[in-house]
Amino acid sequence: AQKITQTQPGMFVQEKEAVTLDCTYDTSDPSYGLFWYKQPSSGEMIFLIYQGSYDQQNATEGRYSLNFQKARKSANLVISASQLGDSAMYFCAMREGLVTGNQFYFGTGTSLTVIP
Amino acid sequence: GAVVSQHPSWVICKSGTSVKIECRSLDFQATTMFWYRQFPKQSLMLMATSNEGSKATYEQGVEKDKFLINHASLTLSTLTVTSAHPEDSSFYICSASRVAGVGEQFFGPGTRLTVL
């Protein structure tokens, strides 16, 4: 089974609107971390936001928030007030366990295009 | 903080030659570094996990004799593609985890390898 599933290969959003990028995960480890990364056309991977499995509240970082639904094993990324610079590939990732050096499992990514 | 550099950013080489890619954590110590390979419009594929002072752990299907990884210090890991062939052409990305923090991986800008 896939550890991370992103079912939206491509998404479009109007500038200044909000958009939700879906991510579901699969793990039996009670301790895990969920991450979202942005990859613009330049190729660099930019860390956006983190949610720990024991965190009670949804993570937020500026215009990014993570809608964490533990029972449904989903960790959707919400981008508010989209900007043209948000156009990029977005990857959801998971690390199992508490050891920070553990490997990441990446989803297949969602290509977001912001329309002016 | 948490900057990772890669060198070179791009390289073109002839088939049969070897290419070395460096990955450095510039402002933190990275006990673990990861090497990924990414094909166009696809997700990151983990090749190996590299711990300072020990042998790298390779993912299934990755030839350890072809992709030599050395993690000589807490700030430097190298990937050498030996006897490169056109099918090795790809985007190679390294990442590093800090000991402290939530365990997010900080990515280098990537190296685009083209083998003629």
Residue B101 is predicted with a pLDDT of 60
Q: Consecutive 10-residue runs of chain A (116 residues): their mean pLDDT?
A: 92 97 95 94 92 93 97 97 97 84 88 97
Cα separations (Å) of A8 from A12, A21, A96?
A: 10, 7, 23
Nearest to A50 among B97, B104, B110 (CB): B104
Q: Which residues pair with B94 in a beta bridge?
A: B35
Residue A41: burial class (beta carbons within 10 Å; 0-12, 13-18, 19+): exposed
Residue B105 is predicted with a pLDDT of 85
* Interface membership of A2 toward B (CB under 8 Å): no
Nearest-angstrom CA–CA distance, A111 and A36: 13
> For A103, which DSSP code?
P
pLDDT digits (tens, 9 = 90+) for B1-16: 689 999 999 999 999 9
Closest approach of chain B CAs to the CA of A40, in angstroms? 11
Residue type for B7, please?
H
In terms of pLDDT, which residue wins out, A104 or B37? B37
* Interface membership of B90 toward A (CB under 8 Å): no
